[in-house]
Amino acid sequence: MNKRQIFDQVSHMETQIGELYEQLGHLKGDLSGIIEENHRLNVENKHLRSYLGNKISDSSETTEEKESATLPGEGFDNLARIYKEGFHICHMQFGSPRTDEDCLFCLELFD
């Protein structure tokens, strides 16, 4: 083997390594997106399961308790219920699932 062939092989390997590095970067980005989506879905599932558990226990309410829910503070009670279910009620992220424990903007609405 002459020096030129060795140099060409090294250059070719360098090109292949660069392509593999680029593919690895794309895979890393895709994996990051999948992990974030998985975390978001786990949080949403947790909130939905707790909501369904509360919904089943709430179905045993008496009609008197149901009638009291229609009093003038019904809108505020609905917002509190939505917040308790794990969703934002603040104007900046209304309806999106809360990933952290408490949102200061949502809590400000209760004051």
Please, how many CA atoms are within 13 Å of residue 64, restricted to the half-sphere of its CB?
0
Give the C-alpha separation, 88 to 102, whole Å.
9
Q: What whole-number distance in Å separates Cα of residue 63 and Cα of residue 6? A: 87
| 99-111 average pLDDT score | 77
- CA dihedral 23→26→31→34, nearest 10 degrees, is -140
Residue 59 has pLDDT above 80, yes or no: no
Per-chain mean pLDDT for the chain = 82
- pLDDT digits 0-9 by tens, 63-102: 455 555 444 477 778 888 888 888 888 887 888 888 767 7
Which two three-digit tokens encode residue 80? Answer: 């509190």
